Amino acid sequence: MYQELAARQQQTVTELLQDGKTREKALEVAMSAYYTADHVIARFEAANTLPSPPACSPGCDFCCHNQVEVTPPEALLIGAYLEQHVSPRQLGLLLERLERNLSLRAGKSKVEVASFRQDLPCPLLHRQGCSIYPVRPLVCRAMHALDAAQCEAALRTQDQTPVAYYAHRHEITTAIVRGLLEGCRAAACQAHAVDLVQALYDYFQQDEPALMWIQGKEVFRRANSIRRGGRHR
């Protein structure tokens, strides 16, 4: 199932990018992946009764302190969404939060960062809710827990042991990510994991990042390269 899902997503990306190297097509790549992930997960759970529903609910933001990696198309779509939905003042405040996050993590390993994640909420978190929920990353769409108290305790105690969850959500989104990246790679577009915070910071330092990406230019630093620099637009 998962191999077929990855192959289908790769084909979707190939077909989208064959239609033209435009900014709109670049953004459509991520939207197609989001639609597929939501549809496949919903269909799977409709056909397979879960022993108990995920414990996640509005206001539950414990997983929003984890480090998140995304694909370049996702970073482009999230950046475009922010440009459309936040004011210049809000965008300026967001850039300050991105810079603070990067500064605190600079030079540290993922394990080291995870040890103080309680003090490092996602810069996109607003009033215990995701400010970009409609375009939240694939990894965030998969993230959930079966016991909210366990999830909260893990955050408060800095316990890095995974909490109980349903594997199918992660397997589905992982397959889609794999197919998405393979499709981008075949189209000679940047195709490697990027850190969400670093990628958004990079996005707002460049003019027409989506057009640059679809033309084959490297827009984002790799996920293991956390640093600041550049300019604000």
pLDDT, residue 227, reads: 58
Helix 72-85 vs helix 196-203: crossing angle, to nearest 10: 60
pLDDT at 233: 44
Query: Which residue from 163, 213, 204, 212 is spatially nearest to 55, judged by alpha carbons?
Result: 163
SS3 194: strand
Mean pLDDT (the chain, rounded): 92
Q: How far is CA 182 from CA 14, 31, 82, 192, 221, in A?
A: 9, 16, 26, 9, 18
Average pLDDT over residues 160-170: 88
Assign 230 a pLDDT band (cuts: 50, 70, 90).
Answer: very low
Beta strands of 67-165 (E only): which ranges?
A: 69-70, 125-126, 129-130
Q: Is the pLDDT of residue 71 over 60?
A: yes
pLDDT for position 226: 59
pLDDT over threshold 60, residue 139:
yes
Q: pLDDT category, 58, cuts 50, 70, 90?
A: confident
Beta pairing partners, 69: 195
Q: Do the Cβ atoms of 210 and 23 come closer than 8 Å?
A: yes
Tell me: pLDDT of 229 over 50. Answer: no
Most distant CA atoms of the chain, gap in Å:
50
| 2 in Cβ contact with 179 (< 8 Å) | no
What phi and psi, each to the nearest 5 degrees, are found at residue 60? Answer: -90, 110
Q: Can you give the pLDDT at residue 163?
A: 86
Q: CA 71 to CA 69: how far, in whole Å?
A: 7
Tens of pLDDT along 8-42?
999 999 999 987 889 999 999 999 999 999 999 99
> 78: burial class by Cβ within 10 Å (0-12, 13-18, 19+)?
buried
Gap between the Cα atoms of 96 and 103, Å rounded: 10
Map residue 210 onto helix, strand or coil: helix
Where along the chain do its domains lie?
Answer: 2-214
Tokens 């995974």 found at:
162
When comparing pLDDT for 224 and 182, which is higher?
Answer: 182
Query: What is the mean pLDDT of the segment spanning 113-134?
Result: 93
pLDDT of residue 101: 95
* Model confidence at 89: pLDDT above 90: yes
Name the pLDDT band for 141 (thresholds 50, 70, 90).
very high
Rounded to an integer, the average pLDDT of 62-87 is: 96
